[in-house]
Amino acid sequence: MTEQDLLSVEKLVKRYGGLLATDDLSLSVREGELHAIIGPNGAGKTTLIKQLTGEIPSDSGKITFAGQNLKRLSEPGRSHIGLARSFQITSLFQEFTVLENVCLAVQAHNGHSFRFWKKVNKDKNLTDPALDILRRIGLEQRADTAAANLSHGEQRQLEIAVALATKPKLLLLDEPMAGMSKEDSERLVERLIELKSRHTILLVEHDMDAVFSLADRISVLVYGRAIATGTPDEIRNNDDVRQAYLGEEA
């Protein structure tokens, strides 16, 4: 682990019975970069995200984030030190409005919620930052719509807005473009470019055009192992990667 690493993963392992979903995996994310993870289906990308956030425990290995060993930290605890994720399969508060979805995430990081009397939807400490994020992500016109009534593309945007509302140091985006139309994806790439200037991002994505245009560095995951890490150009010209992954698509 070097000085500039925000996140470092060392020899991480996750076993599901006989299957090694994460196999002695090591990688690092530098402060300020957008680090993309690509790999064929079943390479263990989402498993890695879940291990990072603490949703599932790791069998062995070490995760260090902002200088802190995450071993004993719960999933909510990791959120509080600045780890946030978006979900591959949209995971929102469906019957809440767009604004309420984001407010709830702001509320989670605005002290305890043992406040039983004051109306929460009039609390400017929550609505102001939430509206700010909706503006940045381009959903402010939909603030009062129930999440369930959004289009798929808008739900994907809200997915990111909710993650952003926790004021993360590192944003883990799990296939943010999943199921999006080409136009929606292109618009989201624009948003991500803007986000990139302010946040460190670990991006898992299948959309190669998006990955190669956004990433500072790319790691290629195959069967739970990082077979290569490098700049987009290095990855494009890496023989192992071509064989293992890109070869299938080219």
| Cα separation, 149 vs 37, whole angstroms | 31
Least spacing, CB of residue 116 vs other proteins, in Å: 5
Q: Is 135 in the site for other proteins (CB under 8 A)?
A: no
Q: Is 145 in the site for other proteins (CB under 8 A)?
A: no
Residues sharing a CB contact under 8 Å with residue 225, sequence separation 6 or more, in sequence order: 23, 24, 25
- If phi > 0 it is left, if psi is from -120 to 50 it is alpha, else beta; for residue 167 that is left
Nearer to other proteins by Cβ, of 79 and 219: the residue is: 79
| Cα separation, 29 vs 35, whole angstroms | 6
Nearer to other proteins by Cβ, of 11 and 80: the residue is: 80
Least spacing, CB of residue 25 vs other proteins, in Å: 21
Nearer to other proteins by Cβ, of 117 and 183: the residue is: 117
Dihedrals φ, ψ of 22, to 5°?
-125, 120
What single letter denotes the amino acid at residue 248? Answer: E
Q: Is 211 in the site for other proteins (CB under 8 A)?
A: no
Residues 47-106 that bind other proteins (CB under 8 A): 53, 55, 74-76, 79-80, 84-85, 87, 91-96, 100, 103-105
Nearest to 133 by CA among 86, 53, 195, 177: 195
| Cα separation, 140 vs 190, whole angstroms | 17
Please select the residue that binds other proteins; options are 2, 3, 41, 118, rule is CB under 8 A: 118
Q: Is 117 in the site for other proteins (CB under 8 A)?
A: yes
What's the half-sphere exposure (Cβ side, CA atoms, 13 Å) at 106?
A: 21
Name the β-bridge partners of 201.
34, 171
What is the token pair recorded at 47? Answer: 């498993």
- The footprint of other proteins on this chain (CB under 8 A) covers a number of residues equal to 37
Nearer to other proteins by Cβ, of 102 and 177: the residue is: 102
Three-state secondary-structure class, residue 230: strand
Least spacing, CB of residue 111 vs other proteins, in Å: 9
Q: Is 166 in the site for other proteins (CB under 8 A)?
A: yes
Nearer to other proteins by Cβ, of 20 and 66: the residue is: 66
Least spacing, CB of residue 54 vs other proteins, in Å: 9
Q: Is 165 in the site for other proteins (CB under 8 A)?
A: yes
Longest dimension (CA), the chain: 62
Please select the residue that binds other proteins; options are 2, 72, 119, 239, rule is CB under 8 A: 119
Q: How far apart are the first and last CA of the chain?
A: 34
Q: Is 162 in the site for other proteins (CB under 8 A)?
A: yes
Q: From edge to edge, which strands make up the β-sheet containing 5-16?
A: 19-30, 5-16, 60-65, 68-69
Q: Contact positions toward other proteins, by CB under 8 A?
A: 53, 55, 74-76, 79-80, 84-85, 87, 91-96, 100, 103-105, 107-109, 113-121, 123, 162-163, 165-166
